[in-house]
Structures are given as structure tokens and as C-alpha cells.
Structure 1
Amino acid sequence: MRTRSLLYAFTAIPLLAASVALPASTAHAAPEPLLYGELAPEGNFTTAPPNTTWWSSTGTGADYTGGTLKTSVGTDKTRPYDAMLGRNGVRLRKGALYTLSFDARSSAPAKIRASVQESSGSYHAALDEEIDLGTVSKRFQWTFRSTIDTTAGEGGQIAFQLGAQQEPRDFILDNVSLTTSTAREGFFVDPGSNARKWVDAHSEPNPVDARAGRIRSQIADRTTVKWFGGWNTDVQTDVDSYIDKATAAGQLPTLVAYNIPGRDCGGASGGGASGAEAYKKWMDGFIAGIAGRPALVVLEPDAVAQADLEQNCLTQEQREARFDMLWYANQHLDAQGPYVKTYIDAGNATWTLGARREDNPADKGIGLSDMADLLGRSGIYFADGVAVNVANYHSTDISNDYGRRLAARVEERLGVGTTWVVDTSRNGNGAYRIPGDENSGQVGFCNPPLRKLGSASRVGEGGAAYYLWIKNPGDSDGRHADDNRCPVEGPQYKAGDFSPEFAVRLMDGS
């Protein structure tokens, strides 16, 4: 679990003595309840929310002018809960992670309570904290696991208890947020990853491998992306099960759809659906398994770049069919609603960065304009962005530079604003070049030596939406025996098989 820029962070234990029933005068109709994402979407108060959204029992009401939530409390409110500000209609799921954050200050030093609790009955709290306010606004944030369920009936509430002040006080709240199943609560770790299976098979009570502990803590416990393809005989059930686990935990899952016909141009990761109709049927099942719940989807690594004419991978008929399939996938994923974010693969910096065929006809790389046009034909209009560096080794700086340049070209040529995600799983030491061979170029496959784990999945920077471990570390790239660019010391595993030797090399950068 990761929290960012926290003043406070912990797993909350309900303090039932401080969870109190509201005075009858504070009963209000709740806003439409939400299950995922931002549960208090009006909490920045840039516009006055409806009167039924945030309620007040302070005696002076709630003032939204100036983009904050303000109220005043007199000395007649002798108990903390005699003067409250709150929001009803909060659906809490028992066992799920949530993050409450807000900015607050008062006209003079004051103690208040902040809670997330039931809005009726016993008023049990999942989070209940006493905090000290000063005259300068201060940020407060907690990530906690709910011990209560408020999905039925009147739901739960966010409540601020402001009473029991020795002198009159003015209170100002802003940027009130309660989230679940977002990056703030962390990325869901795949409990069935290849690394996890290997660790379980080599830990007690099974015969112990000395590498298991390190692989568990450095890789298996941080593997946050799951790949889906033709090996999933019932992809809808498999995706549904995975999303179920992630949403129950209140964390954000990342899925890779990898089943395009003619995948990998018949290379080490070749395969895919038997044809366009089979692919669309498979994609329908994949999407039905998500069912509109929070998810990041990385769509078909390499599929767009390998549709470029210069790649000599597909016939013209196959190219047109691929564009149609990718458009179909993007369109139908977009129809799932705001919680599903799709990032269509756009290759890596070596494939595109600096290669501009319109300026240099002899350059056989994919130009930025070419890639933008390929993405347009593949349905980038429906996607939330692109994925770069998938299963590759380029540094984050180089990948971000490519992402920025590609996004600018996409907007220039297609009129589409976009962002990107970077695969940081194995880019800790950047790209690999064969020692002594100045003409080798960057080798982005065949399990090259001297590579290292990169930044674990987190929110991105510099325009990137996220940094993600998309290629699961330790899973082999595979290799062709007749490819002289493959390091001879590379482990001999098929693409996708877990290699503990490769995993240790990535952990050590050796």
C-alpha cells in the first residue's frame, strides 16, 4: 500500500465511543451513492453543491463562496457532535481500502474530529480521528481498510465534529476527498503471478530455494499486472474473478489484453486468436469480465507498431483487419464508462524516437507521424492514452521523452489530446547494447544481462499517467537460437515462462 505526501497514514481501528448518532435536525436526503473512484466528487467546492449533498448542524449553515466549505460554531454547542458538517450516501465495502483527505483550518487553534462512519443505527466508524487545527490550512490524509459495510440502506457518511469549543470559531474545509479502487489505495498485486507460483513451490513446506525470499519480497509482492490471452479458455470468467479480487480489496487492477491474430509477427510470443471474428468474440468476453469496474487496460503490445508497412509483418488485408479489431476493442472498452482506462500500445523509443521518415526516406524506423497515423486507424480517439516501452528496457527519462513527443504529434495530426503509461518493470539500468558492437543497436528482448528492476507501479510524472510493471519481471522474453544479438548467457526459457535466474539478475542488476 502506498500513500503520497501524507501527514498521517495508518489502518484505522473504529473508535466506537466517539461515533455518535446525529441530531434529528441533520437528517437529509443523500446524494446518489457511488461505489468506486471518487466518492465525494464535489469536495473541491468550486461550485456550490446541492443542499442535499453537504449538510450542517452548526446553527450557521454551510457557506460555499470562494471555493471552500465554511461554517461558524459558537460556545452553545457544548458537545463535539452538536455542531457537524457531513456528507451522506457513502457506500463502504467491508475489507476494501479507502483514502480520506482534506485541507482544514480554523480562526483560532481548535480540536475537531473527522470520521467515516455509518449514518444511522449504531454509527460505527471505519475511521475516527481527533486532529488539531491552526490558522494556516493543513493537509490531512489517511488510508484505511473499512471494517463496516454501508452498501445497503442509508449508507454511510463523511462527518466533521466541530463542537465543544471554548470560544467561537470559524472553520474552513477544502479539497475533501474519499476514494477507493484508485492508485491512492495502491495497485492490486496478482496473487497468481508466475513469480508467486514459483515462490510458493519453493518455500516451506515444499523444498526451499534460497532465492525464494528475495523473489517474493522484490518481485512477487510487487507484480501488479496480469496478462490475458488465448491461454484463458474462459476469458470472461477469468477476468471477472481477477476484477472481483481487486475491487474487494479496494485497489486498482491492471490487465493486458494480448490475443491479436498474428501476434508478435510469429516471433517468440507468437499466437493469438484464429481470426477477426474470434478476436472480437474473445474481446467481448474480456470486456464483459471487467463489467465497468475500475481497471487499467494495456491493449495489445506491439500490435500497432507491427502493422506499419516497413515491418513486413502483415499483408494489406491483414493490416486492415488488425486496425478494425483494435478500433473495435478501443470503442467497446470506452463504452464501459469512466472507471475503465485504456492505453493502446505504441511501441518504444527505439522503434520511433528520432526516426522521421518524412525527413529521412532512408530511415526504416517508424516515424512519429507514422505512429500517430497508425494509432488513429486503431481507435486512439476512444482510448485514454498509449503505453510505451512495454517489455522493453529503455530508461524512464527516454520513454517519457518519447511519450511527450508522440502525444504532441497525435494532437497535431489527429486533434486528440492523450497521455501515456511507461513500462518500468525492467528499465532500472536502461537499454542494453552488445558490448564491443557499436552497430548492435538497443536489444530489447532475449533476456539481456545487466538489466535491473525499475520503479514499481505508481502514479507517473512529467505527463505520464502511470509507471507500471507491465512485463512481469522474471518472465522470460524467449529467444531465437539463430539470432546473434541474443546474449549467449541468456536463460533458456520459452517466452512467458518464469526464470528465477533472470529474476535474480534483474534484482541485482548483474
Structure 2
Amino acid sequence: MRHTSRTITAIAAPVLAAALLVVPAPTAAAGPAEPVYGELVRNGTFDTVTAPWWGAEKASIAAVAGAMRITAAGTGTGTSGNLWDAVVGQNNINLRQGATYTLSFDAKASVPRTVKSTVQLGTAPYPVSLDRNVELTTTSKRFSWTFTSTLTTGDGHVDFQVGGLPEQNVITLDNISLTTSTAREGFYTDPANNAVKWADANSDPREAKIKAAIGDHNSSKWFGNWDADGNPNTGIQAEVSNYVGAAAAKGKLPVLVAYNIPGRDCGGASSGGSQDAALYKTWISAFAQGINGRPAVVILEPDAVAQSSDPACVAGEALEARFDMLWYANQHLAAQGPLVRTYLDAGNASWTLGPDFSGNSGIGLQRMAYLLNRSGVSMARGVSIGVANFHSTDISNQYGARLATQIKNDFGVDSRWVIDTARNGNGSYVTPGVPSSGHVGFCNPTGRKLGVTSRAGTGGAEYLLWIKNPGDSDGNSAQCPAGSPPAGAFSPNLAEALIDGR
């Protein structure tokens, strides 16, 4: 793929408690189907009410000042009772065996004390997937554990056992959350990424090093014309479905890259794509259907928007067709629902702003905002920045913030951004001895380094992601170092250089 510097016009293992909840919880009234992905707890913020939370035995609950106040009755003067003598909980939580979950909440008590937090089956013998003692003080603290469910059930409970003291006391809970298949539970690693396949197929002294540093962290899978272009019933839909399903089964969030626009990469090292607009629409529609509403991050068509400003690449009717295809893609991905987050690619900081960051870049920002708006960014979650590029996270965040402001000011659209950090550990390449040269050397430049692995974002970015898989070549054109493999081919030499930062 071509990238230029020109300006454009508590992991918690299951712990079985000696004493589990023995009093059946209240039965919830029938209602709509409960979620399987994303946020599973209902009303964890208690803005006005406590429902559907319940208090059993010696626990009474009320919404007070935007939190749940639990009054736990004493068990009798001079008598110390059991934690399960007073219980607060929520029913009908969907759990899947083997999937990853994160439980988190804020809590304090009127006196320092111990309570118990569990995620468990709501019927006898009440097996637990998470069982943690929580030490509370009079100051609110945040508690969080990530665990793997041992249960498959639609009757999971999130419970808090708050009995055990002889005197009445008050516990305050707020911001209770149980999630799965979100960034909090981690990003899915493609088990068949190029680094892993190379390590498995070769006897090489670098094998363990490359697998540990790269193969075990590659979090994006690219889909393009190699995935049954024009034959969605036998190819792309099934491939996407299988990949997203494998991630969902583990409770992880998959990152997919759709890279199949006609005229891809303007005939450069990563050229290809669908043969025409009709085939592309068929392909991207099947791609979206393969996700089937499950949690996923989609990076949509790296370079396609930025390169649309180059008349030597796409112009006239072809330009209008590109806008139409990207709009169509955003429409169909948006139709998959709120668990699918699409980021329309917005190039990189140098491509849009110029290398000097002089402030004389308004036209570039305005132009990019215009192109993104024509391509349907209003239907996307936001934009992707620096895909297959090397700019530092700070520089990409500066660009993201300025671009988001421009899009908001010009078109009234709120836009977030994600950053490709796969190869930006040393920032972008500059001509040795000429720091003013800015970003040059887009194709396998030396001295680059792995960036932080996929995670929730910092500095304004929603996510930091490994999008370009490290070790995969940028191409073998005349602009690349001698001996570079073809675009997309894995090179252990490039991989090791990124690990070592050389």
C-alpha cells in the first residue's frame, strides 16, 4: 500500500467459595432477550432507580445520589453472621463457557468491612465463575477482574453478598459493569497470521522470538480480492463469519480490514481490488453480512479516501463511483448495529497536513473532511489514522483531534479515531541529518520499531491497534530497499528489525 508525504487538495481463575449463596434469588419477570455481547448489566449507574437489581433477605436497596445504597441489617447483637445472610444481585445474565468477561464496579461502606462479589448460576448448586472477597473502606474505590466463564447459561447472576456483621451498615455501589467482546476483554489475535504461519513452518533460530513478539499479538485480519471476489455465497461471507465467530467464542474483539476497492493503491505495490463497482458492492455487502451484528472493529479501505484527491489516481466518473462505493460500504456496515464499529480510513498526518506542521494546513484538513463526508463518515464510528505508517502516536493524535474538529465544524458530524501502532515505536523515518525532511520512506524503512499492542486508546484515540501486521512487507517497488518481498509477504528479516528497532 502506498503512503506518501504529499499534501492533498483481576485475571480471575474460578475460585470456589466454601460457602455459596444458598437463598434462591427473586425470579425476574419475563422481558426482552438479554444481550450476549457488550455490556451485560442493566442499570449499573442507578441514576434514578435500582431496578432490575434486587435485595434479598436482610438487604434493602435504594437509588441515592446516582448510586445504589444497600442497607444490610445486622445479624443480632454479639453475633457474627455469614456474608450470604444479605444479598444484592441481578438475574438473567447470559454467560458462555470459555468466553472472557470483565466485572468492574465502584464501592465503599459506612465501616471498613469485607463483602463478596460473584458471577454465578442462579440455581442450585449455584456454581460460580468469579468469586472474590472485596475489602471496602469508607472511601470509594474501583474494583475490576477479568475472568473466563465456566458456565453456559441464560440465568447467570451478578451478586454481592453483604451480610456478616452484627450491626446494621451501609454499602454503596456504582458504575457496575459486566462486559464481553469489548476492548476491556482484549483484542482477538488472528491464529493464522503470517508470523505464526512462518514460525510453524520454519526451523529458524528467530522462530520463538518472532512468534512471542509479533505472532502472539497480531490483532488484524485483512480481507480483499483474494477472498472470493464476486462470489459471496462461497467465500467472503463465510470467511468473515467464521473469523468473527471464533473471536466471539473467546469473548475477544476482532479487528477486520476491508481492502478491496477497485483501483486499490493507485496501481502501486498493493494494487488490486474488485474489478468494478458492482462486484465491490456485492463483496462488501457479503462482508458485512458475515459479521452478523456481532462485536467487531472494521477498518474500511486504507488509502481509498486520501488517494481520491489525486486526479492521476481517480477522477471524473470514477471518483464519483468511489464515493458511492464507500458510502454504500458504510451504509451496510452501519446496518449491522451498534456492536460493529467502522473506521473509515483518513490517511496519515503527513499525507494530509504536510511534514512541517507549520499551521498552514487548513486547506488540507478541509479537503480531507470534505472527502470523508462524501464517503459516508457520518455513518461510521470514526476514522483510522496512520494505517501501515510510522508516525508516533502523539503526532497521529494531533492529526486526529484537528481532523475531528474540522469534520464537526464543517458537517456537524462527531468523529472518533483509531491509530495504527504496529510499527510506530520509533516514530516516522526522516532523512539522516535532515530533521526538517519530515516523514519519508514509506516502504520498509530501516530503524522502525514495534509500537504498543492493541488496547484502549490514549491521547484522544479511541483505540490503539496493530492494523498493519508487523513483518508483512510494504512492497518491492523501486522506492523500497533492495531485496524487499512483495507487498503483504512476510519477512523474518523485517520482523526482527522491528523487534530490535534497527
Does the pair score TM above 0.5? Answer: yes
Q: Residue 507 of structure 1 aligns with which residue? A: 499
Moved more, 403-412 or 57-66: 57-66
> 2:285, 2:124 → 1: CA distance?
43
State the distance in 1 between where 2:354 and 2:405 align.
Answer: 14
Q: Which residue of the other structure, out of 220, 228, 232, is the alignment partner of 2:227?
A: 232
Superposition deviation, residue 201 in structure 1:
1.0
Q: Say whether the 8 Å CA contact 2:71–2:171 is kept in structure 1.
A: yes
Q: Partner of 1:139: helix, strand, or coil? A: strand
Counterpart amino acid of 1:374? L
Farther off after superposition, 39-48 or 245-254: 39-48
5 Å-filtered alignment, 1:53-132, equals 53-59=52-58, 61-76=60-75, 78-132=81-135
Asked if the contact 1:13/1:127 (under 8 Å) is kept, the reply is: yes
Measure how far apart 1:23 and its partner are: 3.7
Alignment-derived partner of residue 404 in structure 1: 401
Amino acid at match of 2:100: L
SS at match of 1:305: helix
Partner of 2:294: 293
The alignment partner of 2:494 has SS state of helix
Counterparts in 2 of 1:170 and 1:276: CA distance versus 1, 3 Å = same
1:122-148 deviations in whole A, cap 9, x for unaligned? Answer: 211100112222211122111000011
Structure 2 unaligned residues grouped into runs of 5+: 1-9, 229-234
CA contact (8 A) 1:422 1:466 kept: yes
Distance change (3 Å), C-alpha of 1:166 and 1:444:
farther
252 and 366 in structure 1: CA distance in 2 versus 1, 3 angstrom threshold: farther
Q: Equivalences for 1:115-264 in 2 at 5 Å?
A: 115-151=118-154, 155-202=155-202, 208-233=203-228, 234-264=235-265
Match of residue 473 from structure 1: 470
Distance 1:463 1:505 in 2: 29
State the shift of 1:10 in Å.
2.4
Q: What residue number does 2:420 align with?
A: 423
> Greater CA deviation, 104-113 or 322-331?
104-113
1:507 deviates by: 0.7
Aligned pair count reads 480
Partner of 1:327: 327
Aligned-pair CA distance for 1:17:
3.7
Task: Name 1:11's counterpart in structure 2.
Answer: 12
CA shift digits 1:407-449 (9 cap, x unpaired): 1111111111111001111111111134367886522522111
Q: What secondary structure does 1:493 align onto?
A: coil
SS in structure 1 at match of 2:61? coil
Identity of paired residues, percent? 53
Shift of 1:479: 2.7
Paired residue type of 1:47: T
Offset at residue 47 of structure 1 (A): 2.8
Does structure 2 conserve the Cα–Cα contact (< 8 Å) formed by 1:16 and 1:124?
no
3-state SS, counterpart of residue 445 of structure 1: coil
> What is the identity, as a one-letter code, of the residue corresponding to 1:508?
D
Name the counterpart of 2:430. Answer: 433
Larger RCO: 1 or 2 (CA < 8 Å, sep 6+) = 2
> Could you say what secondary structure the match of 1:304 adopts?
helix
- Residue 43 of structure 2 is matched in structure 1 by 42
SS in 2 for 1:327: helix
Q: Is the 8 A contact 1:30 1:88 kept in 2?
A: no
The CA deviation at 1:14 is 3.9
- For structure 1, the 5+ residue unaligned runs are 1-8, 203-207
Counterpart of 2:257, as a letter, is V
Which amino acid in the other structure matches residue 418 of structure 2?
A: V
Asked if 1 retains the 8 angstrom alpha-carbon contact of 2:58 and 2:163, the reply is no
Match of 2:489 among 483, 490, 497: 497
Aligned ranges 1:355-366 → 2 under 5 Å: none
Partners of 2:400 and 2:352 lie apart in 1 by 10
Normalising by structure 2, report the TM-score.
0.92
Offset of 1:111 from its aligned partner?
Answer: 1.7
Distance 1:21 1:368 in 2: 62
Q: Describe the shift of the 1:116–1:438 C-alpha distance in structure 2 as closer, same or farther (beyond 3 A).
A: closer
Tell me by how many angstroms 1:13 deviates. Answer: 1.5
User: 1 CA distance for matches of 2:24 and 2:96?
Assistant: 25
Q: 1:3 aligns to what?
A: none
- 1:367 aligns to what SS in structure 2? helix
Letter aligned with residue 463 of structure 1: G
AA partner of residue 272 (structure 2): G
The question of whether the paired residues in 1 share the 8 Å contact of 2:297 and 2:342 is answered with yes
Measure, in 2, the Cα distance between the counterparts of 1:147 and 1:305: 47
The answer to whether the 8 A contact 1:31-1:88 is kept is no
Q: Distance in 2 between matches of 1:135 and 1:192?
A: 49
Instruction: Specify the SS of the correspondent of 1:219.
Output: helix
Q: Name the counterpart of 2:231.
A: none
Shifted more, 57-66 versus 469-478: the winner is 57-66
| Equivalent residue letter for 2:496 | V
Matched to 1:57, the amino acid is A
User: CA separation of 1:71/1:269 partners in 2, compared to 1, >3 Å: closer, same or farther?
Assistant: same
Tell me the amino acid that sits aligned with residue 342 of structure 2: T
Q: Deviations over 1:96-145 (max 9, x none)?
A: 00011111111112221110000113211100112222211122111000
Superposed displacement of residue 388, structure 1: 0.6
Q: Structure 1 CA distance, aligned partners of 2:330 and 2:283?
A: 14
Match of 1:6 in 2: none
Q: Distance in 2 between matches of 1:439 and 1:171?
A: 59
User: Cα gap change, 1:139/1:30 in structure 2, threshold over 3 Å: closer, same or farther?
Assistant: farther
Query: Are the counterparts in 2 of residues 305 and 347 from structure 1 also a CA contact under 8 Å?
Result: yes
Is the Cα–Cα contact under 8 Å of residues 107 and 171 in structure 1 kept in the other structure? yes
Structure 1 match to 2:3? none
Q: CA shift at 1:69, angstroms?
A: 0.5
Inter-partner Cα distance in structure 2 for 1:42 and 1:446? 50
1:30–1:62 distance in 2 versus 1, CA, 3 Å: farther
In the alignment, the residues of structure 2 paired with residue 344 and residue 503 of structure 1 have an alpha-carbon distance, to the nearest angstrom, of 27
The 1:446/1:158 distance shift into structure 2, 3 A limit, reads same
* Matched ranges for 1:362-381 at <5 A: 367-381=364-378
Q: Which residue does the alignment assign to 2:285? A: 284
CA contact (8 A) 1:355 1:368 kept: no
- For residues 179 and 456 of structure 2, the distance between their equivalents in structure 1, rounded to whole angstroms, comes to 15
Q: Contact between 1:292 and 1:340, CA under 8 Å: does it hold in 2?
A: yes
> Letter of the aligned partner of 2:119 in structure 1?
V
* In 2, Cα distance between equivalents of 1:241 and 1:401: 37
Q: Which moved more, 1:310-319 or 1:294-303?
A: 310-319
